[in-house]
Structure 1
Amino acid sequence: MSLDYLEAVVVGAFQGVTELFPVSSLGHSVLIPALVGGRWARDLDVSAPESPYLAFIVGLHVATAAALLVFFRRDWIRIFGGFFSSVRYRRVETPAERLAWLIILATIPVGIAGLLLEHVFRTVLGKPLPAAIFLMVNGLVLYLGERLRRRAEPEPAAGVDPPTEVFAAVDARTVVMPAVAESADDRLARMPARRGVLIGAAQILALLPGISRSGATMVAGLTRGLSHEDAARFSFLLATPVILAAGAVKVPDLVGPLSTGIHGQILAGSVASFVSAYVAVRFLTRYFHTRTLTPFAIYCGLAGLGSALWLTLA
């Protein structure tokens, strides 16, 4: 197997965009080589054991997470500060402290599931036809999420619910600000822990190639009363440690024998992934101020159906 620079840059750019757009990066990483065919299908097989393509994908994931860290750098500085102050003073009181622990708790389910199931799902289901089918399912999930959100009774703002036991030490007098005057992070910080964990657990679905991480978490957030803007922001904040952790676990692949001879391609693809991911998150944080998941649902349905027909009939 070889990997040329054109393949590296194209796949890297698609990774950066599709990781953050609710359309499944893993699904596209499986489908694009299969649809192009020929050398691409041989070189870029994510389901093949001990494939150098896996080392390449690790580099792209790390670059995508780096783009998220850079874009949300002010948020993460506050979140890290909140975590360390919480540990130092043994409290969970400020919005930064609450948000830090909310992200930690919400990340635990997908972390455990990833360690147990990632290899099985990738090798068994990481093939073109299952990816096309799951991409159609992803479109249906996005569409139903929008429908359920519109039919649901309006819920209170994210922090109105009573805090759970994890945040029992919070003084109620510190959370009486009007929602209009709050920042997005403050609104998310007031979310009950059980709701945050439920939204974070939706990331487990993204282990299936074709199901989007950001799409699953956004739908979970929308159906639990978050706005599109807050659901997208929480999704991106949750994705950052998960993607970084996945990359850290696979670092031996990135620096080991699997990457031999393709270090330049990994670097080129990672740069493309970083740039495209930064542009994507910048666009989406503005897009979801006023718009919905419906266009992405339509795209996933049509792309999945078209890919399945091409793979079975061509």
Structure 2
Amino acid sequence: MHPPPRCSLGVPNDPDLLAPFARRAEELGFDGLWTQDTVNAANFSLDGLHVLSYLAAITERVRLGVGVLYSGRRNPAVLARELATIDQLSRGRLTVGIGVGNVYHRETLAALGIETTRPVRRLVEGIEVMRALWSGEDHRGELYSFSGVRSQPEPVQRPGPPIWIGARAEPALRRAVRIADGWTGAAPVSTADFLRQLDIVRDELAETGRDPAGFAVSKSVYLAVEDTEQLARERLIPVFDRSFGANPVYDATDMADRVAVFGPPDRCAEELRVLVDAGVDELILYPMYDRLGQLDAFAEVVAALTGARRP
């Protein structure tokens, strides 16, 4: 059996809910809080990095993560300083999720004057730049070259905060193993698809001779806990329709049944156990509605999954 996973939460976008949500999550023993990065938000959306700074001030123990940053959106030197600042404010609790983003975002980014060419090279070299600045080293690359540049503050975690790649396609999954500290699977991906992606990651770990124990695997999961599966499904369907109805990548049709985990706590724990037994190190659980009200029910799921007693 795989050891119990870390169980974290995706935080709400409502400023009024952030503090009570984070404090209650910490009281209940959750391991982390995660924000998201949004390129072009049609609905109200807070900046994920600023939210992490806020969470660093109102929590003491939980790790803090962002999943995932779009690598080409920010200059890597500026991003290195922002992330190091959050790592300092949180006293070394930051995990950085990063990826190339979706193709359909690039037209908007280009219209805003943000460079969108060579996205993979910008991801790879951007990570190299951040690590060089965190370590006080020079860098020679195709897109960025510098010497004698020093960035402050240094991150608390050395040589820097762990970097997890958000990826779905095979080349990106293999790249994650080669350049990152972990891989984070997307919430709108079904368990079956995620397990196929995990097979690719494991194959690359074996081919490169990398120790799997030193490479983190996480999966974001949409979770809804109710007394019955029917009630949970009825509450989830309109949320998915609103959130993904116009999404060009993920099909909202029957999305609740394809990607969400829902129902009574024991049933939810049973479904999540498939991921744990497959070797997932961290589950990032996202409430889709009644975010503060669902927290205690989520804790029941985690207790059923891990055997841990609730505080």
Question: When the two structures are superposed, what TM-score results if normalisation uses the length of structure 1?
Answer: 0.28
Larger RCO: Structure 1 or Structure 2 (Cα < 8 Å, ≥ 6 residues apart)?
Answer: 1
Tell me which protein shows more helix as a share of its residues. Answer: 1
